[in-house]
């Protein structure tokens, strides 16, 4: 009925370790965490930890990999025609809306892992997934020689901008809905800075 571990005890133990990890990263950052800290907070025996994870880095990797996998699995279900169509219509990409929904759902962990005490490698992974699902198809359809800037700086610019807004949104306590955030982002992506700030009659000088 299952090639997976469905043993209630395993589920329970792993969940408690994951919860402890989230709390502890918040408290002291990942670096400062010891296996003893984790097992104490999780109320399990220290030996039990090693039954499931090689060390704390293994725990972190597995936790991150699950999140990335979660994103990729819903990304694949999305309309493959996306890409340029949405870009041209100045509409938020369905992927972006879904992404915010997903982030919201797993906010506890993601918030700390993307925060100042988190893991910069996870930022890189997330950027890569975003790039694949938001810009890859667009870039492939462009004659890059016509671009005003080198393509990899173009990509880095917008993906980092997205991630920065995501981090701010999480930090702010996710006051806006995923749809609202997608719209905000679209505006900034499609308009230049002067339009976004409503300049011309806006300046006080």
Partner DNA sequence: ACCGATAATGAACATAGTGTTGATTATTGA
Partner DNA sequence: TCAATAATCAACACTATGTTCATTATCGGT
Q: Quick check: 65 binds a copy of itself (CB under 8 A)?
A: no
143 binds a copy of itself (CB under 8 A): yes
**Tokens matching residue 99:** 């992404």
Whole-number Å distance between alpha carbons of 165 and 203: 25
35: contact with a copy of itself by CB under 8 A: no
Q: What is the DSSP letter of 145?
A: G
To 10 degrees, the CA torsion angle through 35, 41, 43, 45?
10
52 is an interface residue for DNA by CB under 7 A: yes
Name the H helices within 114-177. Answer: 120-130, 136-140, 151-171
Query: Does 181 interact with DNA (rule: CB under 7 A)?
Result: no
Judged by CB under 7 A, the residue of 4, 43, 77, 172 near DNA is 43
Return the one option of DNA, a copy of itself, none that residue 149 interacts with (CB less than 5 to 8 A, by type).
a copy of itself
Distance, in Å, from the CA atom of 52 to the CA atom of 67, rounded to the nearest integer, reads 18
Among 4, 8, 116, 204, binds DNA (CB under 7 A): 8
Q: Find the binding residues for DNA in span 139-168 (CB under 7 A).
A: none
Rg (C-alpha) for the chain, rounded Å, is: 20
Q: Residue 196, interface with a copy of itself (CB under 8 A)?
A: yes
Torsion, Cα 99 26 34 48, to 10 degrees, reads -60
Per rule CB under 7 A, is residue 10 in the interface with DNA?
yes
Selected binder of DNA within 48, 62, 123, 167 (CB under 7 A): 48
Tokens of 37: 């800290």
Q: How far is the CB of 12 from a copy of itself (least distance, A)?
A: 28
**Which of 15, 54, 108, 153 touches a copy of itself (CB under 8 A)?**
153
Nearest to 19 by CA among 34, 5, 39: 39
CB 61 within 8 A of CB 73: no
The footprint of a copy of itself (CB under 8 A) covers: 30-31, 84, 87-88, 115-121, 123-124, 127, 138, 141-143, 146-150, 152-154, 156-161, 163-165, 167-169, 172, 184-185, 187-199, 201-205
């Amino acid at each position: 009925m299952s090639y997976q571990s469905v043993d209630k005890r395993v589920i329970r133990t792993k969940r408690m370790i994951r919860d402890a990890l989230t709390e502890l990263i918040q408290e002291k950052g990942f670096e400062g965490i010891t296996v003893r800290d984790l097992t104490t907070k999780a109320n399990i025996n220290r030996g039990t930890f090693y039954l499931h994870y090689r060390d704390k880095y293994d725990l972190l990797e597995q936790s991150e990999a699950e999140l990335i996998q979660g994103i990729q699995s819903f990304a694949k279900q999305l309309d493959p025609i996306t890409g340029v169509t949405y870009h041209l219509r100045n509409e938020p990409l369905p992927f972006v809306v879904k992404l915010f929904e997903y982030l919201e759902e797993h906010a506890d962990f993601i918030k700390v892992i993307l925060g100042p005490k988190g893991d910069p490698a996870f930022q890189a992974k997330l950027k890569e997934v975003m790039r694949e699902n938001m810009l890859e198809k667009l870039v492939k359809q462009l004659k890059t020689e016509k671009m005003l800037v080198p393509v990899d700086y173009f990509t880095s610019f917008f993906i980092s901008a997205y991630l920065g807004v995501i981090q701010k949104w999480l930090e702010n306590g996710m006051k806006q809905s995923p749809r609202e955030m997608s719209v905000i982002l679209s505006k900034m992506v499609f308009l230049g800075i002067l339009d976004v700030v409503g300049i011309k009659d806006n300046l006080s000088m």
